[in-house]
Amino acid sequence: MSALTVTGVSKVFPPTGSEQTETRAVDDVSLHVPHGSLTAVLGPSGCGKTTLLRLIAGFLAPDSGTIAFDDRVVAGDGRPVPPQDRRVGYVPQEGALFPHLDVAGNIGFGLPRGQRDSGSRIDEMLDLVELPRAFRSRAPHELSGGQQQRVALARALAPRPTVVLLDEPFSSLDASLRESTGRAVARALRAAHATGLLVTHDQSEALSLSDQVAVLREGRLIQAGSPADVYLAPHDPELARFVGGATPLPGRAGQGVSATCALGAVTLAHPASADDLVLVIRPDQVVLDPAGVEALVDEVSFYGHDAAIRLSVGGAALVARVSGPSAPRAGDRVRIGVRGTVHAYPAPVRD
């Protein structure tokens, strides 16, 4: 396996149909994925995630920038290396297993004939993705969705690729199967010491499975870092809303690392860089506090172990996550406070 380095890569699509302007799908993206690590590329639909994946795979050529596996430049420096010569493993959304082949035939599809015939590599891959070896003779339609995705990963890993690319591979699975399959796939990638790039629009999936999260917005890389860094120290208020469901509140800087807002006085993670601020407060930071400010409970979403409560306070709306058994009811008046430090950003200048 190799490290993956994307440097200044852009891809523009010309106008099509009724569109009058070109589409800058990937805009000057630079990203490094260390050897043997898993990076999640996170963003909403249309942000350029899949285009970036296709550029790395070689299905598309960048208009500018370079893509390299270790020191080997495969795109952007002269003639690009074709997809079949990049040794990239690709796992699409639906797994795309060959329906006329059994599990062993699917896994062994890209292997030399000798390895296919011996079957040892196929057994090794079944062990790696945590499927019984007895599944060798099963047809794809005899497998569950999660099992099909594991077979698709085994097929991608079998030829020992340079990089493994996963294009929203769990999007068609139900919630519980999605979580268990995601964990199994992440374990398999790490056990194989594979360098992986996972495209997803699911923030929980990105944060829980990956070593690094790279967030795209309108084709541009907004922030790349550890899951904790992206969640706890987002680059801007919009990213805080997208990753973590934070609520932006107007605030005013105080002395040192203090500020005031509709929730009263809060402690800032860093000294404020302006007097007028936007404070981002995550739902897990909002707590029921008898000494806090009064708020009206507008709506309660009960999940059993916890609940999301939507509150109105001082003309602002925000969300809190509380213990399910202690959740208030819609229409109740409660007192709330803020736990931990809050990130602050300069308020936009109004014309």
The tokens describing 333, both together, are: 């008046």
For domain 4-237, the CATH class is alpha beta
H or E segment to which residue 108 belongs: none
Residue 77 has pLDDT above 80, yes or no: no
pLDDT of residue 95: 67
Which candidate, 258, 250, 333, places its Cα nearest to that of 293?
333
Mean pLDDT of the chain: 90
User: Tell me: the pLDDT tens digits for 161-184?
Assistant: 889 999 988 887 887 788 888 888
User: Tell me: the pLDDT tens digits for 181-217?
Assistant: 888 889 888 988 889 999 999 999 999 999 999 999 9
Q: What is the mean pLDDT of residues 27-49?
A: 95
For residues 84 and 20, give the distance between their C-alpha atoms in angstroms, rounded to a whole number.
35
Residue 23 has pLDDT above 80, yes or no: yes
Question: What percent of the chain is modeled with pLDDT above 70?
Answer: 97
- What's the pLDDT band for 343 if we cut at 50, 70, 90? very high
Q: What type of residue sits at position 265?
A: A
**Residue ranges of E strands in 227-314:** 247-253, 258-261, 264-267, 276-281, 286-302, 306-313
Q: To 5 degrees, how large is the angle CA 50–CA 54–CA 58?
A: 175
User: Tell me: the pLDDT tens digits for 131-155?
Assistant: 999 999 999 999 988 889 889 988 9
pLDDT of residue 345: 94
pLDDT of residue 177: 80
The tokens describing 9, both together, are: 């890569």
Q: What does the DSSP 8-state code read for residue 99? A: T
Residue 222 has pLDDT above 90, yes or no: yes
Q: CB neighbours (10 Å) of residue 286?
A: 24
In the numeric block, the tokens 């601020």 are attached to: 277
For residues 223 and 216, give the distance between their C-alpha atoms in angstroms, rounded to a whole number.
8
Residue 238 has pLDDT above 90, yes or no: yes
**At a CB cut-off of 8 Å and minimum separation 6, what does 290 contact?**
335
Q: What does the DSSP 8-state code read for residue 127? A: H
* Domain range summary for the chain, segments of one domain joined by +: 4-237, 245-346
Least confident of 34-38, 59-63, 224-228, 321-325: 321-325
Residue 144 exposed, middle or buried by CB count within 10 Å (0-12, 13-18, 19+): exposed
Q: What does the DSSP 8-state code read for residue 271? A: -
- What's the pLDDT band for 42 if we cut at 50, 70, 90? very high
Q: What is the mean pLDDT of residues 268-296?
A: 93
- Taking phi over 0 as left and psi of -120 to 50 as alpha, with beta for the rest, 53 belongs to alpha
pLDDT of residue 19: 66
Residue 29 has pLDDT above 90, yes or no: yes
Which candidate, 70, 64, 59, 58, places its Cα nearest to that of 26?
64
pLDDT of residue 64: 95
Q: What is the mean pLDDT of residues 330-351?
A: 90
Its pTM stands at: 0.88
H or E segment to which residue 338 belongs: strand 333-338
For residues 161 and 324, give the distance between their C-alpha atoms in angstroms, rounded to a whole number.
46
User: Tell me: the pLDDT tens digits for 80-135?
Assistant: 899 989 989 988 877 688 999 999 999 988 787 777 666 788 898 899 888 999 99
For residues 341 and 285, give the distance between their C-alpha atoms in angstroms, rounded to a whole number.
9
Residue 231 has pLDDT above 90, yes or no: yes
